[in-house]
Amino acid sequence: MLTEVTATRYIAPLRSGGSVPGVVEADDLGTYVVKFTGSAQGRKALVAEVIVGELARALGLRFPELVLVRFDPAVAGHEEHQEVRELHASSAGINLGMDYLPGARDFTPEVARTFRVEPLEAGRIVWLDALTVNVDRTVHSSNLMIWPTLGVAPPRLWLIDHGAALVFHHRWDLSAPGKRYDFRHHALGHCAPDVRAADAELAPRVTEELLREIVGRVPDAWLLGERGFAAAEEVREAYVGHLHARVRASGAWLPTDFPTREEIAAEEALRAARTRQGRPKWLKQVPDLHGEPAAEQDWSVHLQ
């Protein structure tokens, strides 16, 4: 199981995502971004976070350490927003925490123009996303961070947010291990990702034993009640079986076709033009802001 800590101080909510996680301090003196069991995404998002995040770490990719956070809503009694208080009230007990990266920057399209990612590193990340069907690492929402940024050490690329991965666990009856998904607009597609080299390196390491160990870190309570399964262990074996079968079928789903930056820009321009053509006359002079990246947020100021 993951290490368990207890939240002792609630610092601030993060509103950059729909799940509204919170930054908290815990009794181990660590600071964590906590994703709550009561969020609209449900517990399957937390299951995906554990499985994909721990698999990333096992394969040598940079992903913040995960812990289980025991959370008492009273710790955040000073939160002023009613909807956030309701989220906390429905999340008493064990939640999921991710080690906080102070001062980390979002890997935005602007940052991507100057931050070099080697083809093999890009290939490893794309390979992991394709294996776990993480369709939420796109040009406009990379779920990647650059850290550290203060010159103490060379900045590195860190993975975060895998709650949208493992889409097959929403419809087990329709899951096909060899299914191919569209990764043309992956956030690292412009880096010439060497997915074939990544497949040769990583696929042999994703064994049933490794998967069973990783899936074993998911709390039973997040697996109970899954339709079609009588016990948490049955659900665990379903994850192990599907992911292992998917590894062996990598030749069927390995993404290799990525557009260049110029092709992406042309597609975006065409999409914007079509959007504007469909607007009422009075709106045609209003800039189209769809798809522009959210402003970067540095939550380290709340830790003062």
Over the stretch 71-86, which tens digit does the pLDDT of each residue have? Answer: 999 999 999 999 999 9
Position 17 confidence tier, pLDDT thresholds 50, 70, 90: low
Q: Are residues 146 and 247 in the same domain?
A: yes
Of the candidates 223, 241, 243, the residue with the CA atom closest to the CA atom of residue 233: 223
Average pLDDT in the chain:
90
Whole-prediction pTM: 0.88
Q: Are residues 19 and 78 in the same domain?
A: yes
**Full domain range(s) for residue 93:** 4-101
Q: Are residues 79 and 122 in the same domain?
A: no
289 part of a folded domain = no
pLDDT at 293: 44
Tokens 């009422």 label which residue?
280
295 part of a folded domain = no
58 part of a folded domain = yes
CB 92 within 8 A of CB 74: no
Q: Number of structural domains, the chain?
A: 2
Q: Are residues 167 and 215 in the same domain?
A: yes
Last residue of a domain, one of 101, 125, 142: 101
Position 149 confidence tier, pLDDT thresholds 50, 70, 90: confident
25 part of a folded domain = yes
CB 87 within 8 A of CB 134: no
Q: What are phi and psi of 10, to 5 degrees?
A: -100, 125
Q: Are residues 223 and 181 in the same domain?
A: yes
Q: Are residues 165 and 140 in the same domain?
A: yes
Q: Are residues 68 and 109 in the same domain?
A: no
Last residue of a domain, one of 41, 69, 101: 101
Whole-angstrom distance, CA of residue 304 vs CA of residue 299: 10
Q: Are residues 60 and 120 in the same domain?
A: no
Q: Are residues 142 and 91 in the same domain?
A: no
Burial 92-120 (b: 16+ CB within 10 A, else e): eebbbbbebbebbbbbbbebbeeeebeeb
Number of helices followed by number of strands (H, E) in the chain: 9, 8
Q: Are residues 170 and 247 in the same domain?
A: yes
86 part of a folded domain = yes
